[in-house]
Structure 1
Amino acid sequence: MPGIMDIKRKIKSVQNTQKITKAMKMVSAARMRKAEEAMNDARAYANKIYELCCNMAEKVDSESHPFLAQKAEVKNICLAIITSDKGLCGAFNSNVLKKTTAFIKEHEGKNIKFVMVGKKGNDAFGKRGYEVLEKYITFGGRITYEEAGEIGDKLVDYYLNEEVDEIYTIHNEFKSTSVQVGKVTKVLPLAFEAPEVAAADGAVDYIYEPKADVLLKEIMPRYINFTVFFAVLESIAGEHGARMIAMDNASRNAGDLVRKLELQFNKARQAAITTEILDIVNGAEALNG
């Protein structure tokens, strides 16, 4: 059995760790609220620009537009992997890494290239011999639309220069504070599904100036940039939610461990007291004898 002082040091160490996990939980809770607000504010714009692009895509020849034309043969695929820069967030990053591994197996024989958004994804796949086109690992859990636009512009350039035939993003979709689900989204070439419209209203018909095909060339890069931006916002909100839950569980586990160590400490102290009493009694009997 460990000595009393050893157990006392362990209790102190676990209590110090518990203070850190509780503080990290509070920080993550505050950051998650801000990240969730930013994500919800962006959702309306994301839905509207998607609806607008769907409408314009129906009015142009998809085969003649570089963003809509489906490739006859796909050889090179680019994966934009969105993970966190830091750990201590449970299974948050492993969800994305598992989705990525499954995607690679499903597309065996294709040349997979990566754009890394987040340090953890780069650590996992950057050292396995895959070609990494770009690295964005310094956001630190924050991103602006301009920064996301740089990523989107790079993806568009790689696609238009025919360095890749398809582009996908893999990130955690924010469902709730405790639920983040790995999601694979095809970015290019775009394949829109017509938005649901109430039968009484009929199909939405816009009047475009200039023509839809000209406007589409201007809108598409913005749509792609905002798709990347919204995916990163979802990932950031999910990261803070996952870290908050992980730190709450760690604090609870630390509390349980402290209680077990305190029980062990009390037993050791009682055993030491009993031993001392026996030594005193035996010494007294020896003197009397």
Structure 2
Amino acid sequence: MPRAHLPREKPNREQKMAVGNIKTIRTKIRSIGNIKKITRAMEMVSAAKLRKVQERLMAVRPYASKIAEFLTGLAGRVQNLDFPLFKARENVKRIGVVLVMGEKGLCGSFNSNMLRFFNDFQKKHPQPLDLTAIGKKTVDTARKIPLTPVDSYVALKTDVTFGEIQGWTNKLIASFIEGKVDEVWVLYTEYVNAVTFRPRAVKFLPVQTEKKEGGKEEGSGDYEFEPDPAQILATLIPRYVQTTFHRLLLESMSSEHAARMNAMHNATDNAKDLVTSLTLIYNKARQASITKELLDIVGGAEALKG
């Protein structure tokens, strides 16, 4: 005797939507999981680059501080200080600005904060400016402002050499001495620690000598100089300018890598949370789908009995 079979019902619209939703959620979970792997890898790469630049920064900082102190002490011993890089101009008609931003994106608000800081700087200094753009994002931003840089460097490497630094600073020094600009400012991001970094503007030229209270220059200890302080000062000033510029670049590069590391860490955490949330939704949808199928089977069996 042939066995009776329950006619197979076609899936209704709700069942199709449920299956479709499950597939969509599964695809999203897979996609977000892949993104999480990428952001995690980028976080690790940024952390490695940060350590490398940070080591160089920690080595340069004390040297730059000591050379600045020594320069100030020497300047206090030279009578009638007559060096072009020390001479402040009363009427500042044009300024040179070195804007240091990032080489790449995906570093949170690092570049946007620097751009906002640059806009505020322009409001405080309405004079015409000659822009030197350092970093690919700086060059891209200058095109949008629009502002044509007089000079630009887009390949800011982690292992930037002192020879490259010397080439850049020589151009800035020449621009100042020749009277093309009356001041040179560097806008960069100061590195405090892995989670704290802030935009800064430092007057790069003319060279500033700090004084203690009472008018005595800092660092002017009891030394005997051979040759005389003026000759040493003539050699020391360019080295001071180069070292300071090198430090400022390392500060900014450290800040960029730290900002990207933090941004990728946050992105990885957000991806984990999203995968957890979607997995919960997927399990509930899957459970509801299975429950509905079981109810349909039970209902069909009851219909056969009847």
What do the CA deviations read for 1:208-257 (whole angstroms, capped 9, x no partner)? 33333333232212211111111111112222222222111111111000
| Residue 156 of structure 1: how far off its partner (Å) | 0.7
Q: 2:124 aligns with which of 85, 106, 109?
A: 106
| Residue 207 of structure 1: how far off its partner (Å) | 3.0
Tell me, in whole angstroms, the C-alpha distance in 2 between the residues paired with 1:174 and 1:151: 22
| Residue 37 of structure 1: how far off its partner (Å) | 1.3
Question: Is the CA contact 1:172–1:180 (under 8 Å) kept in the aligned structure 2?
Answer: yes
1:15 paired with 2:33, answer: yes
CA gap of 1:126–1:78, structure 2 versus 1, over 3 A, is farther
Tell me, in whole angstroms, the C-alpha distance in 2 between the residues paired with 1:140 and 1:83: 13
Question: Is the CA contact 1:84–1:141 (under 8 Å) kept in the aligned structure 2?
Answer: no
Question: Is the CA contact 2:70–2:220 (under 8 Å) kept in the aligned structure 1?
Answer: no
Aligned position for 1:117: 134
Q: 1:212 aligns with which of 214, 219, 229?
A: 229
Tell me, in whole angstroms, the C-alpha distance in 2 between the residues paired with 1:26 and 1:165: 43
Q: 1:162 aligns with which of 179, 189, 201?
A: 179
Q: 1:53 aligns with which of 61, 64, 71?
A: 71
Normalising by structure 1, report the TM-score: 0.90
1:194 paired with 2:211, answer: yes
Normalising by structure 2, report the TM-score: 0.85
Structure 2: 5+ residue runs without aligned partners?
1-17, 214-218
Q: 1:96 aligns with which of 114, 119, 123?
A: 114
Question: Is the CA contact 2:56–2:250 (under 8 Å) kept in the aligned structure 1?
Answer: yes
Tell me, in whole angstroms, the C-alpha distance in 2 between the residues paired with 1:28 and 1:241: 7
The aligned amino acid for 1:211 is: D
| Residue 30 of structure 1: how far off its partner (Å) | 2.0
CA gap of 1:172–1:90, structure 2 versus 1, over 3 A, is same
The aligned amino acid for 1:27 is: V
Structure 1: 5+ residue runs without aligned partners?
197-201
Tell me, in whole angstroms, the C-alpha distance in 1 between the residues paired with 2:48 and 2:233: 39
Higher mean C-alpha displacement, 182-191 vs 269-278 = 269-278
Segments ≥4 residues shifted beyond 6 Å = none
SS of structure 2 residue aligned to 1:129: coil
| Residue 180 of structure 1: how far off its partner (Å) | 0.7
Tell me, in whole angstroms, the C-alpha distance in 1 between the residues paired with 2:130 and 2:241: 18
Alignment of 1:239-250 (within 5 A): 239-250=256-267
Tell me, in whole angstroms, the C-alpha distance in 1 between the residues paired with 2:107 and 2:28: 25
Aligned position for 1:172: 189
Aligned position for 2:151: 134
How many residues in Structure 1 have an aligned counterpart in Structure 2?
Answer: 283
| Residue 119 of structure 1: how far off its partner (Å) | 1.0
Aligned position for 1:266: 283
Aligned position for 1:144: 161
The aligned amino acid for 1:176 is: N
| Residue 281 of structure 1: how far off its partner (Å) | 3.7
| Residue 285 of structure 1: how far off its partner (Å) | 4.5
Aligned position for 2:94: 76
1:24 paired with 2:42, answer: yes
Tell me, in whole angstroms, the C-alpha distance in 1 between the residues paired with 2:120 and 2:158: 26
SS of structure 2 residue aligned to 1:218: helix
| Residue 274 of structure 1: how far off its partner (Å) | 2.7
| Residue 271 of structure 1: how far off its partner (Å) | 2.3
The aligned amino acid for 2:60 is: A
Tell me, in whole angstroms, the C-alpha distance in 1 between the residues paired with 2:212 and 2:193: 24
Structure number, greater radius of gyration = 2
Question: Is the CA contact 1:117–1:135 (under 8 Å) kept in the aligned structure 2?
Answer: yes
SS of structure 1 residue aligned to 2:209: coil
CA gap of 1:246–1:216, structure 2 versus 1, over 3 A, is same
Aligned position for 2:59: 41
What do the CA deviations read for 1:85-104 (whole angstroms, capped 9, x no partner)? 01122222223222211100
State the percentage of identical aligned residues: 39
The aligned amino acid for 1:22 is: R
